[in-house]
Structure 1
Amino acid sequence: MTSRRIEAERQGRRGETFAMVWLRLAGWRVLARRQRVGAGEVDLIVRRGRMVAFVEVKWRATAADRDLAIDARRLQRVARAAEVLAPRYVRDGDDMRIDVLLLAPGRWPRHITNAWQP
């Protein structure tokens, strides 16, 4: 692994940690972090009441890069992973959705709720 890739991995983990704190302050309970399945990966799985959100976290160096960090292909991978993981975390009567949390230094997080609608 190159040093650039290692640093990107470290920054991604810091971003996920920041996202967990931010979501907790917003009333969410973190159920899991970095859940990998054959279909893909979900960065965070959180619950608030009867809502379970599968959250993709993206950290970028600038606000402009942050706003371009997610696309349909990446969201589809998260959605496929969420489909596999849902039976572990979603109970009868719960709602679920795919959220995206976009982060950049010196900016408020941009939380996109229900980002994936097939």
Structure 2
Amino acid sequence: MKSPARLAAERKGRQGERLAAWWLRLKGWSILDRRVRSRAGEVDLVARRGAMLAFIEVKARASGEALDLAIDERRLARVAAAAESLAHLYLRPGDDMRIDVMLLAPGRPPRHLENVWHGG
């Protein structure tokens, strides 16, 4: 059974994912999937705009300052590994693929960081 703190964190994470998906749709993206799991890890959102397929990690924090520490190379590597293992489910001929991050904090517009993973 999950602790109340863990349940609250999951609710906050899901709320952040809903907000990120809403913002992406406003920017012309189609949300293909949410919280997709693979042996390598989990991808919060899978989105498409034209021939671009994006695997998106969403980070919601209580402050903008906390966002600066929300994502690191280890987390990005896990998302990239999950995306690589899931890509065959979503890629179409001619598509490009990338890893993006959405950063969310109260009182700030969502920050969409594009193509953040270049291997490593």
TM-score normalised by the chain length of structure 1:
0.98
Number of aligned residues? 118
Q: Which 5+ residue runs of structure 1 have no aligned equivalent?
A: none
Moved over 4 A (4+): none
Amino acid at match of 1:39: A
- CA contact 1:58–1:102 (8 Å) conserved in 2: yes
Offset at residue 22 of structure 1 (A): 0.2
Amino acid at match of 1:85: L
Aligned-residue identity in percent:
62
Deviations 1:8-37 (A, max 9, x none): 000000000000100000000000000001
Hey, what does 2:21 align to over in structure 1? 20
3-state DSSP class of the match of 2:36?
strand
Offset at residue 110 of structure 1 (A): 1.1
Amino acid at match of 1:11: K
CA RMSD of aligned residues (A): 0.6
TM-score normalised by the chain length of structure 2:
0.97
Deviations 1:56-114 (A, max 9, x none): 00000000001210000000000000001100101111000000000001101111100
3-state DSSP class of the match of 1:106?
coil
Q: Show the 5 A alignment for 1:18-57.
A: 18-57=19-58
Q: Show the 5 A alignment for 1:54-73.
A: 54-73=55-74
3-state DSSP class of the match of 1:101?
strand
Q: Which 5+ residue runs of structure 2 have no aligned equivalent?
A: none
